[in-house]
Amino acid sequence: MHDVGKIGVPDAILRKQEGLTAEEFEVMKRHTIIGERFLRGSSFPMLQMAASIARNHHERWDGSGYPHGLRGEEIPLEARIVMLVDQYDALRCKRIYKQAFSHQEACHIIGNGDGRTMPDHFDLRVLNAFRLQAGMFDTIFSENSD
């Protein structure tokens, strides 16, 4: 549900094989706000948390994320967790514009950086928890990769 707001992003942007222009990336970034608006207003705590995640799952610990450039503890914990999980999934999955990475490659990129993804993007506690449970990520991904 964290990416439910992508229903408001044109398919031409979602399916584009080459890099996005600055204008297209601004449109893509709006999926966080659209998703939060779609999910907010519920009296159910689970949906309230889902709205928070939808809005904040691209915020980065170092403040370089979007939509608001939140940093550190300003980012809700649930969004910090989903941000790392989403990054792992994005690395592991084949996309129109990239090949899938292996579990080892994904862990290396998350833990050491590759120029786009950097360890400073993640809450160190969440990153350390990921490192401790990385094997489970591989198992869960492999069992659900259909």
Burial 122-144 (b: 16+ CB within 10 A, else e): bbeebbeebeeebeebbeeeeee
Task: Write down the pTM of the prediction.
Answer: 0.92
Q: What is the predicted pLDDT for the residue at 97?
A: 82
Q: Domain spans of the chain?
A: 1-56, 79-146
CA atoms of 94 and 20, how far apart (whole Å) = 17
CA atoms of 141 and 139, how far apart (whole Å) = 5
Q: List Cα–Cα distances, 20 to 14, 29, 127, in angstroms.
A: 9, 11, 28
User: 115-130 pLDDT, tens per residue?
Assistant: 999 999 999 999 999 9
What would the two tokens of residue 56 be? 């904040």
DSSP annotation of 1: -
User: 41-81 pLDDT, tens per residue?
Assistant: 999 999 999 999 999 999 999 999 999 999 999 999 999 99
**pLDDT > 90? residue 30:** yes
User: 83-109 pLDDT, tens per residue?
Assistant: 999 999 999 999 888 899 999 999 999
Q: How confident is the model at residue 6 (pLDDT cuts 50, 70, 90)?
A: very high
CA atoms of 73 and 21, how far apart (whole Å) = 31
Closest by Cα among 102, 108, 107, 45 to 76: 45
What's the one-letter identity of residue 9? V
